[in-house]
Each structure stands twice: as structure tokens, then as C-alpha cells.
Structure 1
Amino acid sequence: MLDNMNFYNFMHKQILILIGLFASTGLSYVFIGSLYSSYLPEISWYLLILLVSLWGYKLYKSYSSNNYSIEEKEKWLSQTRYFLFTYFSIWTIIFFVYVSKDAIELHYIAIATQLGVSVVSATILVSEKKLALFILSFSMLPITIYLTLVGEPYSYLLAILTIVLGLVLLYASRNTYNYLQKSKFQAYHDYLTKLGNRRYFIELLENAIKLQKNDHKYVYLLLIDLDHFKTINDTLGHDIGDLLLCEVADRMTKISKEHGAHVSRLGGDEFCILSSTCKDKEICLKDAIEFANELLDSIKQTYIIEEHHMYISASIGVSIIDNPKMKAGTFIKEADIAMYEAKSLGRDGVILFNDELSIRVERKLEIERFLHFALENNEITLKYQPQLNADSKVIGCEVLVRWHNKILGHIGPDEFIPIAEQTGFIVELGYFILEEAFKTFSDWDKKGIKLDQLSINISMRQMFHNTFTDDVSSLCKKYLNPDLSSRLMFEMTETSVAEDITKLIDTMNQIKQCGIRFSMDDFGTGYSSLSYLRQIPIDELKIDKSFIFELEDANKDANMVKTILNIAKNLDLSIVAEGVETQMQKDFLIKEKCDVLQGYHFSKPIDKESFEEYTRSIEAT
């Protein structure tokens, strides 16, 4: 499709070039005619040139001013071929007119001009191989016949040389054509998979958008990104990874051909597919989802490459092209957003870009933009939620971060923390939280507020940063004595510990040298904790609040809480229950020997001064 588009555009440009060249050169024949007192043939011939030039200009303008469909462009191209053949044939007329005259110098002019026309046809029409061959033969044949009819030895030799020249021009034209085709293929195709590349796809999409203005039909765009492809490259090597990409490309190409779609490789493990046109938007949506799921099923079939049995899935974003005023890059961005949404929802899925997703992404981008100035504008604050033992004594607290922006208002940590992790801002934010928490902990100790522990949430990206252990060590030395350091508790979520278990254990052991302990937060919501409990050096389990919330209504959750408490006791781990909101929940947990309780039943997260007052009020009772 794109090759045809480029060809139409190329032929369109040649029309003006030929009109300018032939119309200006034709004037010289009118001048030559005046020198030999021959006006009528030359002027008549030149008027014919102008008339055909007008035809060509009309073709040029019609292509420029109309958004033709493919069928209409084919009709236009057919007319253009007739125009070109007629245009070049007119020069043969003037050749026969001049060689019929007695003045031998006019013969030379006719031969030179006809040779020039032959060279022009071989050059200008290089991309129209069949037409170039026909016109070149048609232009060279009169010269050969003329020289043969002269009947002299030199003329026979010149006739042979003319044939040789024609063959050379044909050879040069064919070589140029092949070179252009090869160069175009390299410019528009991916070297590895031989699929169209990003440049190819963008031009293809731009042409589809232009056609939509005229056809009022719909097309859809699929953006496919392979899941965990980097793991294959890292473990089996790039050679195996490349072979896998080729196999994936072959599968997608086969299915795409069945649907009349075009597949391209944008780069890495990312592919794009542009569909054929649909008359109805609802049908287009239905086809897009069905096609995407068919692709997923095919991609997930087992691969056998050099004795390696591999499995891979993909995340697919879908964008419906329904607004010809939008740019190609916008539709690719929409599909990209939908694709990353599919990844965030667990991968191996299809997501359609819609207004709701657009609003969510805009909100995310807005948060990301303001977040980078949050520390600078003193918008980040810390809250402290008390932790109490079975005797209702405050033994510690959890440090919780809050953000209030003048424009966005209050943004919850469940919304801005993931964005901070994705952008890397979590490192700077995490350092701020640690420093403020350490200063507060030290200040409380000086005021006589003795806590057994201060719990701080730590992101895996923050923990794996190359300066984290040094930062923690220097902050401990700056603000805390060894006794206070030993009362710190770093909380990690259960689902995050599986990211890189070896690196995690190594980092935890380095941090433990400062005396800091570790807690597994949200325990019970993940899927791999039990296999890691004996491996990672944790000191505490924190029961997720979802289990505590359902204690009053669900026996299953009560049994789950009892099980977690037993696991902690058997592994000699302390246990914290978060999300305690009722007296019944409190009584149940105390009865089951839960070490520490935390939740709104005791206190919501409060600022530093309020926490100090709360602690004193509890001590006074």
C-alpha cells in the first residue's frame, strides 16, 4: 500500500518537471523554424505541446487538490500514463518533420533532440519500468530507421551505436530502478524481520488518515509489545531473541494478511498493525478486539528455537482512527497508552483506548508534572499512625506520607507513590521521608517519648538504588544513636519482594548492620510470601487490613488471620494487624495473641504535634 502511495506521489512530481522541460525546450523549435522560414509546422507542433501540457497540468492539480481513494488514484495514474506516452510521442512528430527537410543541419537537430528525449524518458520514468521501456524503444527506433535508410557505411555504424545506446540506457534505467527499490526497502523496512519499520508505518498511517477524509471509513491501530522479552535476551542471548522476534513477526504477518492488515516493527519488541477499512465504527471496534485476541492466541503458542522451548505473551493497545484532523503520532500514542494499561493490569491482554483511559492518563501526567516540584514547594508532609499493644500502650507508629497541592488538592499515596516509582522520583522522595522521620524520632526520644519502633515504608526501587545503603547509614549516624537505629522498622510490601530476591537479601543484610529491622507489609495479599519467609531476614509480619475488615462477617478471614498469626509465632516473628476499626476486631486480635494493633479504632494518621499529645493522653489514662 505504501509503495503505491510513494509511486503516486513520485509520478505526480514528474508531471511539472516534464511540462517545464518540454514547454521551454519546444520554444527553441519555433526559433529554429524562424531561421529557416518555416513557421507553420513548428508553431502547430508547439501548440500541440502546450495543449498536452495543459492536460498534464490539469492532472497535476487534480491530484493536489483531491484526497483520492486508492481506486481513484489508480484511475488518475492510468490517465497520467496516457499523458506521458502522448507527451513523448509528440517529439517523434517533430523528428519526422525535420528529417524530411533538405537542410542536413535540421537532421542533426532532430537526431540530437530525439536522443535527448530518450535520455529524459530513461531518467524521469525510471520508477515506471514498463512505460520507460516502451517510450525509450519508441524514441530510439526512428533514429535507427533513419540512419539505416541513409545507406552509408558510417550510417550503419551509427545505427548500431544507436541501438547500443538504447540498450545502455535500458540497462542504466533498470539498474537505477533496482537500486532505488533496494534503497527504499532499506529505508522503509526492518533489517531483522523484513517488516516495515517505524518510518514506513507512520507514512502508512498518515496516508490512511488522508484517505479517511474522503472515504469516511474507519481503521484501527494495534500496538503490540511482547511481555518480558528482555528476560529471554538476558538469559538465552540476543541471537535467540532475534530468532524469536522473526518467528513472532511471521505469525503476525500470516494473521494480518488474512485480515487485510499491515504489520510493522517499530523497534525492539514492539510491533504495530494497521487494519483495512471498516464502514461502521462498532464493527471496527468488534473486529479490532477479535483480531487482537487472535494475535494473542497465536503469539502464545510454544516456540522451539535451537532446542529451546519458549513461551511468550504480549500486551496489546488498540486505537480507533476516527478523526482525520488528528496526527498519526497521536493515534500511536493512544495505542501506546492502552498497551501500557494492559501491562499494568497484569500483561497478556488487550485494552482499547477510550475517553476514560485518556482522562486517567491526563491525570497521571498532571500528577507527574506537579510531583517534581512537591518537595521544593513544601507540599509533602508526614503523618504518624499510632501502634498499640494489647494493653493499649503506644509502642510505636507507622510513618505515612501525604501530599497536598494547591491546584490538584489532596492526592493519596496510592496514586502518587506508583508514579514516583515509575519516574524515579521515589529516590529523592524516599530520602526526604527517611530524613524527616529520623529527625522526628530523635526529637521524640529527647522529649521522653520512648517508642519501641518507628515503621517506614520502603519502595523496592528506592531500596535497589545504588546509594540507598550509604544514605541510610549516613542518616543513622547523623540523627540516631545505635539504640534508636535498632528500633527502626523498614516495611516492604509482600508483592514486591519477588522482584530480585538475591539482590534484596544482600541489601537487607547491609541495612541490618545499622541495626534496622524489616517488616513484610500487606501480608496475605501476595502469592509467594511463604516461599520467601525463610529466605529473607524479616522480623515482623503485618496482616493486611482487608482481612481485618472482614473479621466480623467472614469466618474464612478469621481463619486466615489465625493462620497468619500461627505462622508468625512458629517463625518467631512479631505480628502487627493494621486496619483495626472496631472493638470486636480489637478483642478478636488480642484474644489470638496479636502483638501490635493499628487502625482508626485507636487513631487516624496524625501530624507530629498531635502524635505527641496522643501519646501523653494514652499514658495519662
Structure 2
Amino acid sequence: MFVKHKYVYESLHKQIPIIIGLSMLPGLGYIFLGWLNHIVLPALIWYGLVSLLSIWGLSLYKSFDYDSMTSLELISWHNYISKFYLLMFSSWALIFILYGGETESKMHYIAIFTELGAAVVASTLLFSDRKVLIPILLVLMLPLSAYFLLIHEFYAYVLSLFSLVFMGVLFYSAHSSDKLLEKTQYQASHDQLTKLFNRHSFIDTLQRKVNELEKHQNYSYLLLIDLDHFKTVNDSLGHDVGDKLLEEVALRLKDIAKDENIIARLGGDEFVLLGKGFIDSDKCISHAMRLSNELLQSLKNVYSIEPHNLYLSASIGVSLLSPQCLNANTFIKEADIAMYEVKEKGRDGVILFNDKLSKRVESHLKIEHRLHSALKNNEIYLHYQPQLNIKQEIIGCEVLVRWKNEDLGVVPPDVFIPIAEQIGYMVPLGEFILEEAFKTFKKWNEEGLILEQFSINISMRQLFHYSFVLDVGRMCQKYLNEDLQKKIIFEVTETILAEDMNKVVSVMNSIRKYLDIRFSMDDFGTGYSSLSYLQKLPINELKIDRSFISELSKDKNDQEIVLTILAMAKTFGLKVVAEGVETREHYEFLKKNNCDILQGYYYSKPLDKDDFESYMRHNRFSL
């Protein structure tokens, strides 16, 4: 089943009213001249035939809708439109035959020139489809050539030969124009590097596939393939190596996918594959998952790009194309969501988009939408969780952000903070948190509520923002004196270590040097921590992740981990904060092993500003 390029169908469709107009109007001239010369009947009969053909042509014109038609419908429409054009131009050959012998009235001259004109019109308007044009030119020009031959004069033989030459010129001209248009359309619809379909062309194809599925109640699948860590290869080895790698990936995709699938490059290192149709959805999913795993294995084989031997993996998101949905972009979005789920789970895998993912994305979008107006609507507020020393005296607190929305209720920070990071909202949110926290710290100090340290969480996006150091400096100057500044601790998580280490160290050193603010490594032990990082990073404190504290009384492994962290901190001269202290047993273990600072529900949950003040005033005690 061969479907022509979109431009061919659209060109043939666009010419219908032009061809009808160029047939009907000159046809009136034949009727008028026939009436003048008393030979009007052939023109009237011919005009009636052309009128019937025109009505058919207009019905074909109205029935065409490329975006909603299936492949079979397009092929059927093309067959009909080919017949229409052949019959319409054959009618001009007929009028030439009817009036070519009218030498006394001189109408044979008009018949000859209209035949030549029809040939020029056909080659000019229908050059985009040679299979339509070739029989039309033969129908028009061969009778003319034969006409001159039958005159049996030398000049007529020359004219007969010229007619054939003229037909050849028209063929050549149409062929050249078609080739140029075909080249232009190919460049517009294909990726220059990989020679695969590009995004725009693929979406057109996908939409037509979706229409077919809806009409036949079939299923198909879409695979979105994203290369893992391709940017690293591109940046480190150069774009020439990266381009060759993409070309090789395209070849492997075509080799595995065969002719039954349509493959495109959406951009960068992202490829997409559209499968064939299936009657049964389970078989469709099974085939899609099997093909995805074959692709994964093929893409992981070594790439020999001189002088390098490279290895890649891929993350593949799968979307089931069902006949219930008619929007092509929806399926690309679903596959994209599934692909990013693979990324979050460690890459090098396949995930099928499902209802669970859909609900999570829907929830994500709701949060994202409402988060943009959270500050403006005064929905963001701060809580403070006390930190105590080993004598159980309050010596500080951690500032924790909270969000309560009228529709969503209380949204946990571990839900909305990552979303704020993704949508670029973390910088204004972080600025609000810092300003509110500094105001509160200043107020408490003025009221005699003295703390030794005041910890605030800082995100990676905040830390790397171009104006972060200046913004913090401005707020320190506005709210804090030198003594208070020295008590501020910025908490960063271990995930920051996945970034450019030199840049991280540079920013942290600037803040320490110019603002006298210290740093704490939060959630220590859960991610990228290593001795080399502890040596390089300008930190003053480690916070043991609550996951190691929660099972201290039961799990000897957790006990060993905590003891190791405490010993490591002592070696590097760092203080240690234990998060998640919830029982007397936790406290006794940490006290016995000289943990510096304790934080958790055993002492207090996070409190709003007023409750924390009350806690400070009335609960300075030892347990």
C-alpha cells in the first residue's frame, strides 16, 4: 500500500477548480463559434459532457481532507482524481477531433491551438504526479501528431515531428519541476543528518494513522527513544563524533524496525517509532514491548567511531494508540511521560504509559498550575523544627517550607519542591523563604530568643542562579548583623554533587568568604557521598538521613552506618545532626556515641512561628 507525499495530494486537489474553470469558460467560446458557423451541436454535446465531469470533479474536491483521511481513502481518492483529470483532458482531445476538420470555418486552427494549450496547462498544473500527467499528454499530443501526418504534406510532416518534440519538452519540463519540488519536499520532511522523517512530517503521518485506527477500531503503538548521556559524548568528544553516533543509531533503528514501522528523529537525541496496526490491544502491547527490548539491546552494542569505541543505552517510553483518542500529540506526550519515568528510575529501560502514570501527571499538572500563584495568594508559609544538643537544650532550628492550597489542601514539600525546580519557580520561592526566615531570625534575636544556629535548605537551582550570592548578601545586610550571619547554615543535599564540582565549591566558598554563612550536607549517606567529596567541599556539618535513624534500635547495619558517619565526621572536624529522632532508644544510642545535635518528633514536630516561640520559652528542659 503506497501513499504519496502530502504535497502531491494537496497539489492535485488544488488544481481541480482551476482545470474546471479553464474547461468551462473556453467551452462557451466553442459554443459561440459553433453557432456562428452553424456547427453548434457538437459543441453543445461536448459542453454537456464537460459539465458532468465538472460536477464529479467538484464532488472529489469537497470530499478531500488529507488530515482526516486514512491511507486507503487517500489511495482511493487518488485513483478517482487520476481518472477525472484523464477524462477531462480527453474531452479536449475529443473537441479537437470534432472540429479539427472544419477548415472552411477556420475552426481547425482554434482546435489545434486549444489542444496545444491544454497540453501546456496539464504539464504546468499536474507536474507533481507523473503517473497522472503522462497519459494525459499522450492523449492530447498523439492525435495532434497524427492529424498533421494525415495531411500528407511536407510542412505537415514537420509539424507532426514538432508536435512530438513539443510533447517531449513538456515531459522534460514537468519532470524537472517535479524533481525540484520532490527534493524540496524531501528536505522539508526529513532530518538532514539521519535521513529519517523529521518531527513535522512524523506528526502528519501519526495523525493519519490515528484516523485509520479510529475508523477500523484497531490499535498501534508509539515508541519514544531517548539516548542516555548522549550530551556527555557530544560535549566531550565533539559534534562530529556525536553526529556519526546519531547516524549509526538511525541505521540500527531501521535495521530492527524493518519496513512495517515508521521512524523519525524528533530532535537532538530523541527518536520515535510508529508501529503497524493490531486488532487486539494485548498483542499490540506485547509486540511493542518485545520490539523495545530488541532496540535496547541493539543500541547498547559498541559503536566504533574512530578512534573511539563508545557505549550507549536508551530510555524508551511506550504509548498504546487506541481508537478512542484522535489527537496525535496526546500519544507523543504519553510516550514522553513514560520515557522520563524510565530516566527517573535509572535509565536503560522500557516503560508503558498507564493509568497510574496518567493520574500522577494529572496531579503534577494541577500542582504546577497552582504553584505559580502560590506566593501571590499567600499560600506559602514556614515551619521551624527545633534542634537540640546532647544535653537536650534547644540550640537551633531547621526552616521548613509548607504550602496549603484551597483546592489541593496541604501539599508536602517533597512533592511540590521538585516541581518548583522543574518549572523554574524555585528561585522566587527560595528568595521568599530566605527573606521570611531572616525576618523571623532577626525578630527572635531582638526578643531575646537566642539560637546558636539557624538552618535553611538551599536547592541546586538557587545555588547556581547568577544573582544568588548578591541576593543573599542584600538580605543579610537588610536583616542580619554580623553575629547572626555567622549562625546561618545553608543545607544542601548530596544530589548537588552530581553537578560540576568545581562550580559547587566556587559558589560555596564565595558565600563563606563574603557572607560568613556555613554549609551543612543534608541527607548524608543516601547518595553521592564519598571521602573525596568531604575533603573538597567547604562544609561544617553532616546531617544523617532519617532512614538510618528510624531503625537504629532494630537494625545493626544502620547502627554501623551511623557509627561510621560519626567517626568520619570527627576525622574531618565536622558536627553531626541526627534527623528523625523519634524514640528514647534513638536518643540513648546517639548520646552514647556523642552525636552533636538531635532533631525529630521525639522533641517536637515542625512548628509555626508562634508555636516555636512558645516552645522556646516554656520547654528549655532536659529529658
Shorter-chain TM-score: what band? over 0.9
Which residue of structure 1 lines up, in the alignment, with residue 48 of structure 2?
Answer: 47
CA distance in 1, matches of 2:94, 2:573: 105
Give CA deviations for 1:341-378 in whole Å, capped at 9, x if unaligned.
33233333323223322222222222222222222222
Match of 1:486 in 2: 486
Give the conservation status (yes or no) of the 8 Å contact 1:240–1:305.
yes
**Alpha-carbon distance in structure 2 between the residues aligned to 1:451 and 1:384:** 12
Residue 261 (structure 2) aligns with:
261
CA distance, structure 2, for counterparts of residue 383 and residue 95 of structure 1: 93
Query: Residue 473 of structure 1 aligns to which amino acid in structure 2?
Result: G
| Greater Cα offset, 523-532 or 46-55 | 46-55
Contact 1:495 1:528 in 2 (8 A): no
Partners of 2:343 and 2:427 lie apart in 1 by 23
In 2: Cα distance, 1:145 partner to 1:551 partner: 104
Paired residue type of 1:511: I
Query: Post-superposition shift, 1:193?
Result: 1.6
Question: How far 1:599 moved relative to its partner?
Answer: 0.4
Q: 1:363 maps to what in 2?
A: 363
- Taking the TM superposition and a 5 Å limit, the aligned residue runs for 1:141-156 are 141-156=142-157
Residue aligning to 1:565: 566
* TM-score, normalised relative to structure 2: 0.93
Counterpart of 2:393 in structure 1 is 393
Q: Map 1:65-214 onto structure 2 (within 5 A).
A: 69-71=70-72, 73-103=74-104, 105-214=106-215
1:223-262 → structure 2 map (5 Å cutoff): 223-257=224-258, 260-262=260-262
Deviates more, 1:525-534 or 1:154-163: 154-163
Greater CA drift, 301-310 or 55-64: 55-64
Residue aligning to 2:593: 592
Amino acid at match of 1:361: V
Q: Report deviation, 1:584.
A: 0.9
Q: Secondary structure at the match of 2:318?
A: strand
Q: What amino acid does structure 1 have at the position aligned with 2:508?
A: M
Does the 8 Å CA contact 1:209/1:324 hold for their aligned counterparts?
no
Distance in 2 (CA, whole Å) between partners of 1:11 and 1:582 is: 80
* Structure 1, 68-77 or 168-177: larger mean CA deviation: 68-77
Q: Deviations over 1:233-266 (max 9, x none)?
A: 32222222222222222222222225x1111122
Partner of 2:302: 302
Q: CA deviation at 1:487?
A: 1.9
Is the 1:2–1:203 contact (alpha carbons within 8 Å) kept by the matching residues of 2?
A: no
User: Using a 3 Å threshold, how does the CA distance of structure 1 residues 52 and 368 change in structure 2: closer, same or farther?
Assistant: closer
Which residue of structure 1 aligns with residue 476 of structure 2? 476
User: Which residue is 2:456 aligned to?
Assistant: 456
For the residue of structure 2 that corresponds to 1:492, the secondary structure is strand
Aligned to 2:442: 442
- Over the aligned positions, Cα root-mean-square deviation in angstroms equals 2.4
Deviations 1:280-303 (A, max 9, x none): 112222222222222222222222
Partner amino acid, structure 2, of 1:400: L
Residue-by-residue CA offset, 1:545-576 (whole Å, 9 max, x unaligned): 01111112211111111111111122221111
Q: Which amino acid aligns with 1:158?
A: L
Q: Are residues 1:335 and 2:371 paired?
A: no
For 2:444 and 2:389, how far apart are their aligned partners in 1? 19
- SS of 2:89's partner is helix
Distance in 1 separating the partners of 2:382 and 2:72: 66
- Sort the Cα spacing of 1:468 and 1:575 in 2 relative to 1 into closer, same or farther, 3 A: same
Match of 1:420 in 2: 420
2:516 matched to which residue of 1? 515
Q: Which stretch of structure 1 is more off in the superposition, 21-30 or 600-609?
A: 21-30
Query: 1:3 offset after TM fit, Å?
Result: 3.2
Distance 1:316 1:591 in 2: 50
Please state whether the residue corresponding to 1:277 is helix, strand or coil: coil
Give, in whole Å, the separation in 1 of the partners of 2:576 and 2:3.
64
| Matches of 1:91 and 1:173, distance apart in 2 | 20
Instruction: Report the more deviating stretch, 183-192 or 304-313.
Output: 304-313
Counterpart residue type for residue 569 of structure 1: K
Distance 1:479 1:39, change over 3 A: closer
Please name the residue that 1:37 is paired with. 38
CA contact (8 A) 2:544 2:578 kept: yes
Q: Which moved more, 1:268-277 or 1:543-552?
A: 268-277
Q: Name the aligned partner's letter for residue 387 of structure 1.
A: Q
Q: TM-score with structure 1 length normalisation?
A: 0.93
| Amino acid aligned to 2:435 | E
Give the equivalent residue in structure 1 for 2:19.
Answer: 18
Aligned residue number for residue 319 of structure 2: 319
Distance 1:64 1:410, change over 3 A: closer
- CA shift, 1:415, in A, is 0.8
Query: The residue matched to 1:19 in structure 2 has which SS?
Result: helix
- Aligned to 1:117, the other structure's residue is in SS state helix
Contact 1:302 1:311 in 2 (8 A): yes
Unaligned runs of 5+ in 1: none
Number of residue pairs matched by the alignment: 620
Counterparts of 2:394 and 2:37, CA distance in 1: 118
Pair 1:445–1:49, CA change in 2 (3 A): closer
Distance 1:183 1:72 in 2: 26
Is 1:287 aligned to residue 287 of structure 2? yes
Identity %: 52
The letter of the residue matching 1:419 is: I
- In 1: Cα distance, 2:82 partner to 2:423 partner: 56
Provide the rounded CA distance (Å) in 1 between the counterparts of 2:65 and 2:243.
Answer: 43
CA distance in 2, matches of 1:616, 1:45: 107
Q: Contact between 2:385 and 2:599, CA under 8 Å: does it hold in 1?
A: yes
| Per-residue CA distance 1:62-100 (angstroms, 9 max, x = gap) | 656997653454344334434433332232232222223
2:70–2:211 contact (8 Å) kept in structure 1: no
Report if the CA contact (8 A) 1:494-1:529 is conserved: no
Counterpart of 2:442, as a letter, is S
Q: What amino acid is aligned across from residue 34 of structure 2 in structure 1?
A: G
The answer to which of 49-58 and 81-90 deviates more is: 49-58
CA distance in 2, matches of 1:296, 1:306: 23
* Distance in 2, Cα, partners of 1:620 & 1:89: 106
Residue 543 (structure 1) aligns with: 544
1:591, CA displacement in angstroms? Answer: 1.1
